[in-house]
Structure 1
Amino acid sequence: MKILFVCTGNTCRSPMAEGLARLYFPEGYELFSAGIQALDGDPVSPYAGEILQKKGIDARRHRAVRLQKDTLAAADLILTMTKAQKKVLFGIYPEYQDKIMQLGEWAGLDKEISDPWLGSLETYRFCAEEIEEMIKAGVRRYRGNS
C-alpha cells in the first residue's frame, strides 16, 4: 500500500506526516509526500527537522517534491492536511477523488492541520503533535481497534 501525504510546500506538514507515519504503519507500507506548490529540492524546515530528529526520524535528506499527476496515480491513498487542499486536488485531478481524503477525515477526527510555516518551534511542535494524533487514530481505526 502506498500512502501519499500532501501539503502546500512539502517542507513542514507533509514531511512531518511522512516521518511520523513511519512510526505507526506496519512494514510493507510505502509512505511518501509532496506539495501542491512545492519548490523542488527545498530542504525540510529546520524546526520540522528538529522535531522529527527528537522522535528518532532523520529528515536531513528530505527534499521537497512538487505534486505531479504520476505521483497521485502511484498512490493508493492520498491524505491532505486541509479540506482546502483536498478541494484543490478534486478540482485539478477529479479522476483520483476516490482515493483523496483529508488526514483528519481519514482519522475519524474533524480537524485540519494548520500550516506552521514561519512559526515558532512551539507552533511546529503543536503541529507535529496534531499530525501524530491523527496518524495514530487513523491506524487504530483501520485496524479495527478504535
Structure 2
Amino acid sequence: MMNSILVVCEGNLCRSPMAAAMLGSLLKGQQVASAGLNALVGMPAAQYACDVMRERGHDITGHRATQIARSLCSSADVILAMDGAQKRQIESQFSFTRGRVFRLGEFLDIDVEDPYRRPKSEFERCAELISVCLTEWTARFSAL
C-alpha cells in the first residue's frame, strides 16, 4: 500500500510545490510532501507559482521551502524528481531510495524545466506539463 509521495525540485519554490498541490488534490488520503535539493529554506513559493496555482484552484501561499532530508526520503513510498539529473542526485545522496525515485515525466520521457525567475507564461506552461505528467502517475497510483 502506498501512503506517501515526495516531490522534489531544486529550490522547492516552483515546480515541487505546484506538483504536490495538484497531486494532493488528485490522490485523496495520500500524504504528499515537497522538498528541494538546494532549498531556499523557509522561503514562500514563487509569486507566479502561487498565482498559477490559485487560478487552478490550489492555494500554496502557506508553502515554505524545505530541504530534502533522509527522514523525508525514508518515509516516502515514491519520490518524484523533475529531471534525470535530480533523480540521479537523490539516488546518489540517499542510496536507499534506489528503485523508488522516478522523474515526474518518466512515462512521457520528459523533464520539467524550472520556471524560476521567468515570466508568468513559463509558470503556466510548467503547470500544464506537470498536470499532464500527473495524469500518467495517478492512473498508475490508482492501480496499486
TM-score per shorter chain, which class?
A: over 0.9
C-alpha contact (below 8 Å) 2:24/2:31 kept by paired residues? no
- The alignment status of 1:143 with 2:142, answered yes or no, reads yes
Seen in structure 2, the aligned counterparts of structure 1 residues 142 and 59 have a Cα distance that, compared at 3 Å, is closer
State the distance in 2 between where 1:91 and 1:77 align: 16
Question: Identity over aligned residues, as a percent?
Answer: 33
Q: How many residues align?
A: 141
Q: TM-score, normalised to structure 1's length? A: 0.93
Deviation for aligned residue 1:142: 3.9
Q: CA RMSD in A?
A: 1.0
State the distance in 1 between where 2:40 and 2:117 align: 16
What residue in structure 2 maps to residue 43 of structure 1? 44
Q: TM-score, normalised to structure 2's length? A: 0.94
State the distance in 2 between where 1:125 and 1:30 align: 25
State the distance in 1 between where 2:5 and 2:103 align: 12
Deviation for aligned residue 1:131: 0.2
CA deviations 1:83-106 (Å, max 9, x no partner) are 00001111111111121111111x
Unaligned runs of 5+ in 2: none
Alignment of 1:97-108 (within 5 A): 97-105=98-106, 108=107
Deviation for aligned residue 1:22: 2.2
- The alignment status of 1:19 with 2:21, answered yes or no, reads yes
Unaligned runs of 5+ in 1: none
Read off the aligned partner of 2:137 and give its amino acid letter: G
Which structure 1 residue ranges, 4+ long, deviate > 4 Å from structure 2? none
Which deviates further from its counterpart, 118-127 or 135-144? 135-144
Deviation for aligned residue 1:141: 3.4
- The alignment status of 1:71 with 2:83, answered yes or no, reads no
State the distance in 2 between where 1:79 and 1:56 align: 22
